[in-house]
Amino acid sequence: MGKYEAVIGLEVHVQVRTASKMFCSCANTFGAEPNTKVCPVCMGYPGVLPVPNKEAIRKTVIAGLLTGCEIARFSKFDRKSYFYPDMPKNYQISQYDLPFCANGRIKVGGENVKGFSGEPLPEKYIGITRIHLEEDVAKLNHQHGASGVDYNRAGVPLMETVSEPDMRTPDEAYAYLTALKEIMQYGGISDCDMEKGQMRCDVNVSLRKGPNEPFGTKIELKNLNSFRAVHRALEYEIWRQAQELDAGRTLQQETRGWNDDAGESYLMRTKEQAHDYRYFPDPDLMPVTFTDEEIEEFKSNLPELPAAMRARLVESGLTEYDASVITADRHLAKWFDAAAKCVKNPKILANWIISELLRELSAASLDITQSPVTPEGFAELVNAVDSGAISGKSGKDVLAEMFVSGKSANDIIKEKGLAQVSDAGAVEGFVDQAIAANPAQVEQFKAGNPKVLQFLVGQVMKFSKGKANPKLVSEILMKKLQ
């Protein structure tokens, strides 16, 4: 073992987020009563006409642009024929030789970046062979010794991203999937909820003796339902293939399944049983063309990716760490941007979100999308603290109250009389009172004992009933004592 290099290529399917299905007007939903979101088109009745979903095509092009792909000026849909109970037409509409997007790449790793296993993961670009659009198949449900077919999923737009065989370790595959998911989510292309089957990956892996040797025989692993499972399956499969090769056996091209509970892969079919899909252009669908102007239009409206947002936040004064916490969750990133529009100081906003808001949310078992406090409402609170209108400590109490009552920060500040006195004239009055009442301590300070300053600040705060802005108190007191 250890004398082989693994070669890995991934094929990833994501359901595109659209209102309706790929070729009919049925709703693109999840979890509806089985077979209620169907029509003659997605049920594959004879004689019906598919109409392509423009939004799904637009999102596929955006995915291509976000991964540096070339966008085909001319592409088409093809029929991929096979028979399976989950496919009502006995062919799937897909794209064969002219996909919408080709020749892109995705960056993984970087300086000081660690992979899933904890090992360093140096920067590397993984090539994207193609991104094409097709339709999802129905869902088979096996229960109580019987099988049911739910056609609600049949015809949902499904986008497939095929990578080059550029990955060499399970960590690189894990990082590639993470980066791809981030792009899909930030691009608004797919929610990629793996528990809902919105993102599914097939893994191809082979071994070779060294980096300059030709590729070995590839084995495809199907039905991996988490990134963790991909990582485990790859580790196992690399070990298994090495054992085979070490024993002098040759590997056959085959498709294997992954049993996550047992932690092993198992044979599904060999190459001899591979399908001949007999692809041909779908005669019911017109080719899809784009002009250069249309592609430029897409390019000028691209959503911002997390790496670019992080750079922008650091530019506006946040630390790298704060920026990465904010962008780690795209909902939080959006929330931050909405709040940032209403504050003067984005750095303080980030501090308050990370240390206070996230704590309150987690205590209430809520995620950011369920926050009872709006970005604008939170900005009001942060501004009150930032301007010195209330103390940081009061700010925390106000936030807790906002969570419970839903009242605005300013209303709570008024009701509870939390506003600090930041009027220089008023504070000066309290300072004068404190100095007049404590001549002995003033003398001590003037004689060179700095420790009594804290005492005098405390006296001023007492005269102000705790409401004087402490920063202002120190400033004015120092001035008067000098």
Q: Give the interface with Zn ion as residue ranges (CB under 5 A).
A: 24, 26, 39, 41-42
- Residues 6+ away with beta carbon under 8 Å from 296: none
Alpha-helical runs (H) found in 13-79: 54-66
218 vs 467, beta carbon nearer ligand ADP: 218
Identity of the residue, 14 or 26, whose beta carbon is nearer to Zn ion in the bound complex: 26
9 part of the interface to ligand ADP, by CB under 6 A: yes
List the single partner that 42 binds among ligand ADP, Zn ion, none, CB under 5 to 8 Å by kind.
Zn ion
Report the DSSP beta bridge partners of residue 107: 125
User: Which residues, 292 to 321, sit near ligand ADP by CB under 6 A?
Assistant: none
C-beta of 230 vs 421, nearer to ligand ADP: 230
Inter-residue contact 137 to 84 (CB < 8 Å): yes
- Taking CA atoms, 351 is separated from 125, 310, 326, 356, 392, in Å, by 34, 15, 10, 8, 12
- CA distance linking residue 194 with residue 181, whole number of Å: 10
- Shortest approach of ligand ADP to residue 248 CB, angstroms? 20
Closest contact distance (angstroms) between CB of 33 and Zn ion is: 15
Residue 277 or 298 with smaller CB distance to ligand ADP: 277
Q: How far is the CB of 175 from ligand ADP (least distance, A)?
A: 16
Query: Per rule CB under 6 A, is residue 11 in the interface with ligand ADP?
Result: yes
Dmax (CA) for the chain in angstroms is 101
CB 209 within 8 A of CB 5: yes
Alpha helices per DSSP H over 438-469: 439-446, 452-463
Residue 88 contact among Zn ion, ligand ADP, none, beta carbon within 5 to 8 Å by kind = none
Q: Is beta strand 124-135 parallel, antiparallel or unpaired with respect to 101-108?
A: antiparallel
Residue 39: contacted member of Zn ion, ligand ADP, none (CB under 5 to 8 Å, by partner type):
Zn ion
Q: Are the C-beta atoms of residues 95 and 129 closer than 8 Å to each other?
A: no
Using the minimum distance from each CB to Zn ion, give the nearer residue, 41 or 184.
41
Indicate whether 265 belongs to the interface with ligand ADP (CB under 6 A).
no
Bridge partners, 114 (sequence order): 120
Among ligand ADP, Zn ion, none, what binds residue 218 when CB lies within 5 to 8 Å by partner kind? ligand ADP
215 is an interface residue for ligand ADP by CB under 6 A: yes
10 is an interface residue for ligand ADP by CB under 6 A: yes
The region of 8-16, 30-38, 325-333, 385-393 touching ligand ADP under the rule CB under 6 A is: 8-16
State the minimum distance, in angstroms, from the CB of residue 8 to ligand ADP: 6
Under the criterion CB under 6 A, does residue 50 sit at the interface with ligand ADP? no
Tell me how many helices (H) and strands (E) the chain has.
16, 16
Instruction: List binders of ligand ADP among 143-202 (CB under 6 A).
Output: 162-165
* Nearest CA among 162, 251, 242, 244 for reference residue 203: 162
Distance CA 215, CA 7 (A): 7
Instruction: Enumerate binding residues for ligand ADP (CB under 6 A).
Output: 7-11, 162-165, 204-206, 215, 218
